[in-house]
Amino acid sequence: MREPIDPLTLLQWYDRHARIMPWRVSPGDRCAGVRPDPYRIWMSEVMLQQTTVAAVKEYFVRFTRRWPSVTDLAAAKDADVMGEWAGLGYYARARNLLKCARVVADEYDGIFPDTHDELLKLPGIGPYTAAAVSSIAYDLPETVLDGNVERVMSRLYDVHTPLPLSKPELMTLAQALTPQERAGDYAQAVMDLGATICTPKNPACGLCPWRDPCKGRLAGTHVELPKKVPKKKKPIRLGIAYIARRVDGAYLLETRPDKGLLGGMLGWPGSEWIEGVPVEAEPMKAQWKVIEGEARHTFTHFHLRLIVKTALVPMDRSPDTGEFMPLEEFRPSDLPTVMRKAFDLATGGSKTTSKDAPRSRAK
């Protein structure tokens, strides 16, 4: 061991190579005394849970423009927050985001707590996010252990124990490296390293500030680390979605229950999604017509093939399930992606991806 693994080496790399993000205070500005806004750090960290930076950026800008402070967010309507989150996935995050904002506004005077333990009590904040907010927003020497840090530590110390069994060991190693000074920049630096240099495939070891002391690279095993327990294969489920349009243009929609898949989101009424043949579940009496093709979508633990049926219904008939939403209140972008795919199939392939179009009237 000729050369110790030094956090300062990484900080120097970060000073030159830090990525620019809408929520980030660059190391230069940080040095000049600029402090990050804990509200923005918290929001970015929740959005970044299991989600790529590229996907998050747009949502982050949109959310913080619409709700600039935690008290603004706490006062928002549930449906507005869920609609704004639509498309980002893992919708329990949006429900917990709002819950957390209301707790911070009501019980913490609108100020996020700074300690790991206190942050951990808040909805939607687990060990990673608590450490991220504590270190990045408040510069306390907490250690973040996300997928990037797991990969970097596994390679740096040539850990062959598979995840998630190796987590405690990786945490110990990561904590030992965490500096007392510049803890926030250091946390972001390890994650930037993992995201841009120490990548899952084709790591750019030639550019790595920790190239020389890296035990995995020395052993030649780095590319196969971290080891992971094999994943299960995804079954295929089938379902039917019903898209009813009233003659005045209103669509029949339902708000899904808070628990479970797509909880709290807007969606088309439909059958259960099961591995066998789905049972018809028409939300109202009508001339239902099958649309040719199917909407395909993959969730975390199953593939879905969704048959879509449509109907045009008169004004004087009420549904058994769901409610008609006036055309001027309906934005396809408020739907989770699978529901938007069903809508696109029903309306003839025109893609509806933009959140830019405002509701034609607010009320």
Residue 124 is a binding residue for DNA (CB under 7 A):
yes
The number of angstroms, rounded, from the C-alpha of 337 to the middle of its chain's C-alpha atoms is 14
Using CB under 7 A as the binding rule, whether residue 285 contacts DNA is answered as: no
Instruction: Among 146, 185, 294, 334, indicate the residue that binds DNA (CB under 7 A).
Output: 146
Q: Which of 45, 150, 282, 294 is catalytic?
A: 45
Interface with DNA, residue 64, by CB under 7 A: no
Give min distance, CB of 87 to DNA, in A: 5
52 counts as binding DNA under rule CB under 7 A: yes
CB 48 within 8 A of CB 57: no
Q: What are phi and psi of 49, to 5 degrees?
A: -60, 115
**Binding window for DNA (CB under 7 A); candidates: 5-13, 53-61, 154-162, 276-284:** 53-61
CB distance 36 to 26 below 8 Å: no
State both tokens at 201.
């495939």
228 binds DNA (CB under 7 A): yes
Residue 215 — left, alpha, or beta (φ > 0 → left; ψ -120 to 50 → alpha)?
Answer: alpha
Among 135, 154, 188, 310, binds DNA (CB under 7 A): 188
Compute the distance between CA of residue 233 and CA of residue 223 in angstroms, rounded to an integer: 24
Number of neighbours of residue 118 by Cβ within 10 angstroms: 14
21 touches DNA by CB under 7 A: yes
Minimum distance from CB of 114 to DNA (Å)?
A: 16
Q: Is 159 in the site for DNA (CB under 7 A)?
A: no
Contact indicator for 180, 7 with CB cutoff of 8 Å:
no
Identified binder of DNA from the candidate list 64, 135, 143, 148, rule CB under 7 A: 148
d(CA 44, CA 56): 8
Q: What count of other Cβ atoms lies within 10 Å of the Cβ of residue 105?
A: 18
- Interface with DNA (CB under 7 A), residue from 10, 45, 244, 330: 45
Are 133 and 183 in contact by the 8 Å Cβ rule? The answer is no
Q: Can you tell me which of 132, 240, 244, 286 binds DNA, judged by CB under 7 A? A: 132
126 belongs to the binding site for DNA (CB under 7 A): yes
Residue 332 and residue 340 in contact, taking contact as beta carbons nearer than 8 Å: yes
Among 115, 298, 320, 357, binds DNA (CB under 7 A): 298
Q: Which residue among 73, 82, 97, 125 contacts DNA (CB under 7 A)?
A: 125
Q: How far is the CB of 341 from DNA (least distance, A)?
A: 8
Piece of 68-76, 105-113, 141-149, 319-327 that binds DNA (CB under 7 A):
141-149
Closest to 64 in 3D by CA, of 86, 38, 30: 38
**Beta carbons within 8 Å of 224's beta carbon, 6+ residues apart:** none
Q: Minimal distance in Å, beta carbon 181 to DNA?
A: 20
If residue 57 lies in a helix (H) or strand (E), which one and from where to where?
Answer: helix 53-66
Report if residue 195 touches DNA, rule: CB under 7 A: yes
Q: Select the residue interacting with DNA from 301, 312, 315, 320 (CB under 7 A).
A: 301
Q: Report in angstroms how near the CB of residue 241 gets to DNA at its nearest.
A: 13
Q: Is 43 exposed, middle or buried (0-12, 13-18, 19+ CB in 10 A)?
A: buried
Angstrom distance (rounded) from CA 128 to CA 314: 52
Among 233, 349, 356, 358, binds DNA (CB under 7 A): 233
CB of 6 to DNA, least distance (A): 22
174 near DNA (CB under 7 A): no
Interaction between residue 363 and DNA (CB under 7 A): no
Name residues whose C-beta falls within 8 Å of residue 295's C-beta, 6 or more positions apart in sequence: 241, 304, 305, 306, 308, 338, 341, 342, 344, 345
Q: Is 22 in the site for DNA (CB under 7 A)?
A: no
45 noted as active-site residue: yes
Site residues (vs DNA, CB under 7 A)? 19, 21, 24, 44-45, 48-55, 86-92, 96, 123-130, 132, 146-148, 151, 164-165, 188, 191-192, 194-195, 199-201, 228, 230-234, 260-263, 297-301, 336-338
Residues labelled as active-site residues: 45
